[in-house]
Amino acid sequence: MKFSKAFELMKHGEKVKLPSWGGYWYWDGSRKTIIIHTKDGIEMDIRKTEIVEYTLSNIVSEEWIIADETNCPELGGKATFSFGEAIKYLKRGKKVKREGWNGKNQYIQLATGISYKTQNGEIVNCEHDAIGNMAVAFVGTSGVQMGWLASQADMLADDWMFVE
């Protein structure tokens, strides 16, 4: 939902969040302000935010949801998000995984600085016109698979989460 609707819900007592967040925001009627409840349990007035650009980029999101005990770690749940969000976090250097993956310790991350050795011992730096020197790496129980490709199920799933 858009922030305008999330703000309206906050004014009526709801806690709201973006899907990947461990914490939530709520309206404090006595102080007439939004309180940010972080994933670490710290509460702060939105007017004291230190990274205004980040806070504003969250406000313009259209993915606001009601925070509850199923989707918010600070309320006892798990924070999950879409594949689109997972790609955004990969590009920021985060490791992500599907909650539905069976193998323990399996995740994907963005690999950079990729090179390989040819049969005659020459080192080749993998540089691509469109993506540079990057690939998605799947880290699993059998090792690392470079150039991992998401399945239809992976791309359509909303159970992506951060690796702890």
- Tell me the average pLDDT across 68-97: 95
Residue predicted with more confidence, 97 or 164:
97
Coil, helix or strand for 137? strand
Closest-CA residue to 110 (of 90, 128, 130, 127): 90
How many angstroms separate the CA atoms of 129 and 90, rounded?
20
pLDDT band at 100 (very low <50, low <70, confident <90, very high): confident
Average pLDDT over residues 43-56: 96
Q: Is the dihedral of CA 34, 51, 22, 60 positive or negative?
A: positive
Q: Tens digit of pLDDT for each residue in 127-153?
A: 777 777 889 999 998 899 999 999 999
The terminus-to-terminus CA distance of the chain in angstroms comes to 27
Query: What per-residue confidence (pLDDT) applies to 102?
Result: 82
**What would the mean pLDDT of 30-42 be, rounded to a whole number?**
97
| Sequence spans of domains, the chain | 3-75, 83-162
Task: Report, as an integer, the average pLDDT of 84-112.
Answer: 92
Average pLDDT score over residue span 115-119: 89
CA distance 53 to 97: 27
Mean pLDDT (whole number) for 88-112 = 92
